[in-house]
Structures are given as structure tokens and as C-alpha cells.
Structure 1
Amino acid sequence: MARFVLSLHTPPSDHDTTQRIVKFAHACLAQGHSVDALFLYQDAIYHASTHFELASDELSTPSLWQQLAEKNINLMLCVTAAEKRGLDIKNTGAFAVAGLAEFAMLASEADKWIQFK
């Protein structure tokens, strides 16, 4: 079975891309593959913000991330992208703060790296 690493580059307002990466991760696991990490980069780091108030009719992204974390997917966010955008890196919900070097190492060890933009 294959080992995947996924990266998300779009903000929480891009519901389509968010749903695609989550569904892809679940499909990988259902087929016996592993997802070693899901990395938030660029404006995707806002998915880790705890300062958003979502309307009841909007996609509840925090619950989607929590479901993936419960499946033992390593949820990570780029520390540099987060700091540049003013994200509180001490309060990132289910996401761990990581550097690009750490992500690059995971991607180099995986069979496939797939970007969602």
C-alpha cells in the first residue's frame, strides 16, 4: 500500500478544496493506504485559527480536521506562513506547528505528495 503526504494551500473559505482533501484522505485510509501528514501552507494556515466564528450553515472545518486527527493523520501547519499571517502559533487546535524542512522530509519519504490548491 502507498504512503501519502497531502498539502492544502487554500483558505477556509474555499469549501470545495477543503472537502476534496478531506474526502481524499478518507478514501486513502479506506483503501488501506496511509496518510503520513496533512500540511497547511500559504493561506491554508487559517484553517488552524481558533478565532473564526462559523455560521451554522457553513462547513464546519474544525470537526473535519478533528476526524482526521482521530484517524492518526499528522496535521501540521507551516510556522513561517503562520507567523507571516499573524496566526497565534500557540493556539492551533488539532494542528502541530512545523517547518518546511520537516514537511519536506516527510514528503521525500512518502510514495506520493499531493497538493490541493
Structure 2
Amino acid sequence: MSQYVLSLHSDVSNHDALQQLLRFTQALQAQEHQVACIFLYQQAVLFASQHFNLASDELQPTQLWQSLHDAGIALKLCVTAAEKHGLDTTQCGPFEVAGLAEFAMLATKADKWVQFK
């Protein structure tokens, strides 16, 4: 069993990257690998916004993040990128704010780091 760290870098308009991350995470869990954390960086920090108001037939990022959190996956949000994009880092839902140094430490302890852009 391997330990993975995943990072998402894409803009919120790129639902493909989010769906790929979700499918990859589910495949890892099905094979009993561990996902140590998912780190949102660059434009992807906007996925942590609590102000999504999407049509009911679209992918619902807020529900997706909550389900991953409920499955025991740590969700990390780059504090610097979040602040640059105007997010309130005190209202991040299931996300914990983290710096790049913390992410780097997690990535060095993991067997694999996979980026989704």
C-alpha cells in the first residue's frame, strides 16, 4: 500500500481536472492506498469558496469536498493563494489552511505526489 499526496492547480471552470482528481482518489481508495491529503493551490483555491451556486445537474464541489473529508482525507488550502484570491481563510469549510512548507513536508513523506492541472 502506498501513500499519495494530491494537488489541484486548475481554475474552477476546469471541472475535468476536478473529476479526474475524484476518480483517481476513488481508484486509490479501492486499491487500499492512502491519500494523505489533497492540496489546493494557485487558481484551484477558488474551489474552496463557500459561495458556489451551481445548477443542481452540475458537479457540486462543496459536496465533493465534504465527502472526501468524511472519508478521512485531509484537505489543505494554500493560505497565500487563498488570500491573493480574496478568500476568507477563517471560513474554509472542510479545508485547513496550510503553507507551501507544510505541503512540501507532506509530499516528501509520501510515496507519490500527483498533480492535477
> What SS does structure 1 have at the residue aligned with 2:83?
helix
Which portions of structure 1, spanning 4 or more consecutive aligned residues, are displaced by more than 4 angstroms?
none
Deviation of the 1:29 alpha carbon: 0.9
SS of alignment partner, residue 105 of structure 1: helix
Give 1:98 shift.
Answer: 0.5
SS in 1 for 2:47: helix
TM-score normalised over the length of structure 1: 0.96
Partner of 1:108: 108
Aligned equivalents of 2:53 and 2:105: distance in 1?
Answer: 34
Return the letter of the residue paired with 1:57. Answer: D
For residues 4-23 of structure 1, what are the structure 2 equivalents within 5 Å? 4-23=4-23
Q: Is contact 1:12–1:61 with CA below 8 Å preserved after alignment?
A: no
Shift of 1:71: 1.0
The number of aligned residues is: 117
What is the percentage of aligned positions where both structures have the same residue? 58
CA distance in 1 between partners of 2:113 and 2:25 (Å): 12
Deviations 1:87-112 (A, max 9, x none): 11111111110000000000000000
1:33-62 deviation digits (Å, cap 9, x = unpaired): 000000000000001111221122221111
SS in 2 for 1:32: coil
Matched residue type, 2:116 = F
For 2:51 and 2:60, how far apart are their aligned partners in 1? 14
Deviations 1:4-56 (A, max 9, x none): 00000012221111000011111101101000000000000001111221122
Give the whole-Å Cα distance in 2 for the aligned partners of 1:57 and 1:26: 21
AA aligned opposite 2:22:
V
TM-score between the two structures when normalised by the length of structure 2: 0.96
Partners in 2 of 1:83 and 1:63 — Cα distance? 23
Structure 1's unaligned 5+ residue stretches are none
